[in-house]
Structure 1
């Protein structure tokens, strides 16, 4: 469990059948990332998935996955429960992570990611088309913002130039600009982003990220909807509950709306303004294949049902039961998973699931 200040006090406890505690709970991790590997109960003493993987990688994930992922455990599955905006952030590609100065990233792996909404899930993801930005921002009638947009439009990469101009403003100029922009949208609802930005401003007053959000695309994913966020895609998740799958990385570069360290030069190096999220509606059927937009992972879900159904995917898989219990079985062995319980399936295991819960399945791509 990751207890960040943007998390919810009751969403994850309610989802996993626990009483709320005195700290917010933001992310529940399932995997073998070195920062927070999942615990594994064992008769001779509890251990964790990272220890088991290090002891015998091929036995755990198979020789193919060890080769394809250069010896790194391939997947990380999470449940997210934000109640206020996450930072404006971007994740690197594999090449960008390797090319970065030492100490820039916590690991040398890319972090493409995707989520499926459990409740309505709000996010800013991807940048608006620059022509739309040129229409929207000057239309706020804030002269200093219009001047920045006009200057940026003459640069080789206008969207990146605009981000750089906003993020590197002198503090006094920045504060004045944010006040003027918030005043300009205070009674406007002709763009769905305006209300969201006003809400974020309550938690981050004066942050230049409030203006940056207006250059981004605001979306709401309905329960069951899938959103893929590729490397280089600027984003800031807002609120709701979602299941998230990603390559096994915790690499984040932040540029605003956070008390954590920001790295504007690195964000400007890795951001890709035309890197856009991929959205898909919930597939029909008990076994739901959300498709794969990357070689790193493939996400499925299996809905409730009393008949044993084969768990989809091949190779190593992490499965997670939510919304009620699920029973997974292989041969003569069964394991009951309450809502919030996860299990790891080694490659080659033929496993079925039945029960009243929804089983999310993270497989390699």
Structure 2
């Protein structure tokens, strides 16, 4: 069964007024549109028209998980769609954040439940017992902070800045230029006394604005921009410990558990395990739990290599990711029909052109740029025909 999806747009303040609207063939929106959600997440489930009435995808999966998920995905994940697909449109930076492992999520969720922390409490860290690995594929040029930079390069950057107010927090890293020193320097930045934070951030920004230096121009420019958006936020300093990654359209990055990251600017297709567990690390007015963040973070350092698609066949290219919950690929269609075997429940998003999608002899659906469909996991295969580009989201069960 194939259903056209009606999807929710999330109006977060950092969103673009034109990117998602343009994808859907609309004029500029009245307010920010940050994310277009496609899936069965309880906070914004997609809806379908079944039997003449509108139904949420969450309810349909819960009612008949074998039909909607397929037996294999149902057995692996239960009565829940394990992935969420998004169009993410960042006109301004998102917060620094990281996500837990499965074991950390289970333990953290159980602890907060036992302590009676309300799910909607601003200091709640774990909203569910699930991990949240994610992958984002750039639709436009896309900038992100992602993972810790090589220690020797970070020390060179701070040597060039020469900020006296940073001397104390950098001491652990200079003394021990490894993961241990990196963790202690990050902790020192994040626990800087409130009274000293503004001076430390202001001095860092002033150093970033000074002419000269032999590199790190883009890193310094972003620090200045972040300080303008979040004055006095120590995340401006800790951001200078991270890799600044630039993606060209079609490139992707994968964020596993413990990876400290922040999307800065651009439009992309994001897929993630369906979870709300976020540990924030700055560049936000929201709750920052430093001890729990330190417990979750992975201080492995080194360059982040973009994920480039691997060819499956003449039509499909896949972005490999080491998780079971999701698999993202593209289908580049050029007129001739192409049959795909289902790999579980699937969501197809059209970002270019106009296509027809049909399953097992049933009437096909026409989808155009900005449209998405849900393919039930019990469908054995489906056919795509037309000229355009589809993003294909499904599970990654070997």
Whether TM exceeds 0.5 here: the answer is: yes
Cross-structure match for 1:121: 142
Q: Find the residue that maps to 2:53 and give its secondary structure.
A: coil
Alpha-carbon shift at residue 42 of structure 1 (Å): 2.5
Q: Find the residue that maps to 2:370 and give its secondary structure.
A: coil
Match of 2:168 among 130, 143, 147: 147
Q: Distance in 1 between matches of 2:347 and 2:300?
A: 31
Note if 1:55 corresponds to 2:63.
Answer: yes
Cross-structure match for 1:194: 220
Give the 3 Å change call, closer, same or farther, for CA 10–274 of structure 1 in structure 2: same
Note if 1:279 corresponds to 2:311.
Answer: no
Note if 1:350 corresponds to 2:358.
Answer: no
Q: Distance in 2 between matches of 1:22 and 1:263?
A: 34
TM-score, normalization: structure 2?
0.87
Q: Decide whether the 8 Å contact of 2:319 with 2:329 is kept in 1.
A: yes
Give the 3 Å change call, closer, same or farther, for CA 123–48 of structure 1 in structure 2: same
Q: Distance in 2 between matches of 1:282 and 1:57?
A: 31
Q: Find the residue that maps to 1:309 and give its secondary structure.
A: strand
Cross-structure match for 2:275: 249
Q: Decide whether the 8 Å contact of 1:188 with 1:194 is kept in 2.
A: no
- Equivalent residues in 2 for 1:354-365, closer than 5 Å: 354-365=385-396
Q: Decide whether the 8 Å contact of 1:318 with 1:344 is kept in 2.
A: yes
4+ long deviations beyond 6 Å:
none
Give the 3 Å change call, closer, same or farther, for CA 159–71 of structure 1 in structure 2: farther
Report how many aligned residue pairs link the two structures.
Answer: 365
Consecutive unaligned residues of structure 2, counting only runs of 5 or more, are 1-8, 113-123
Alpha-carbon shift at residue 312 of structure 1 (Å): 6.2
Cross-structure match for 1:134: 155
Q: Distance in 2 between matches of 1:313 and 1:165?
A: 49
Give the 3 Å change call, closer, same or farther, for CA 79–223 of structure 1 in structure 2: same
Consecutive unaligned residues of structure 1, counting only runs of 5 or more, are none
Aligned Cα root-mean-square deviation (Å): 1.9
Alpha-carbon shift at residue 321 of structure 1 (Å): 0.8
Give the 3 Å change call, closer, same or farther, for CA 313–278 of structure 1 in structure 2: farther
Cross-structure match for 1:265: 291
Give the 3 Å change call, closer, same or farther, for CA 188–359 of structure 1 in structure 2: farther
Q: Decide whether the 8 Å contact of 2:150 with 2:301 is kept in 1.
A: no
Q: Distance in 2 between matches of 1:312 and 1:275?
A: 39
TM-score, normalization: structure 1?
0.94
Q: Find the residue that maps to 2:38 and give its secondary structure.
A: strand
- Equivalent residues in 2 for 1:1-365, closer than 5 Å: 1-100=9-108, 101-102=111-112, 103-154=124-175, 157-186=180-209, 187=211, 190-191=215-216, 192-274=218-300, 277=304, 279-283=306-310, 285-311=314-340, 314-330=343-359, 331-347=361-377, 348-365=379-396
Q: Decide whether the 8 Å contact of 1:312 with 1:361 is kept in 2.
A: no
Alpha-carbon shift at residue 357 of structure 1 (Å): 2.6
Q: Distance in 2 between matches of 1:99 and 1:173?
A: 34
Q: Decide whether the 8 Å contact of 2:318 with 2:328 is kept in 1.
A: yes
Q: Distance in 1 between matches of 2:305 and 2:173?
A: 27
Alpha-carbon shift at residue 154 of structure 1 (Å): 4.6
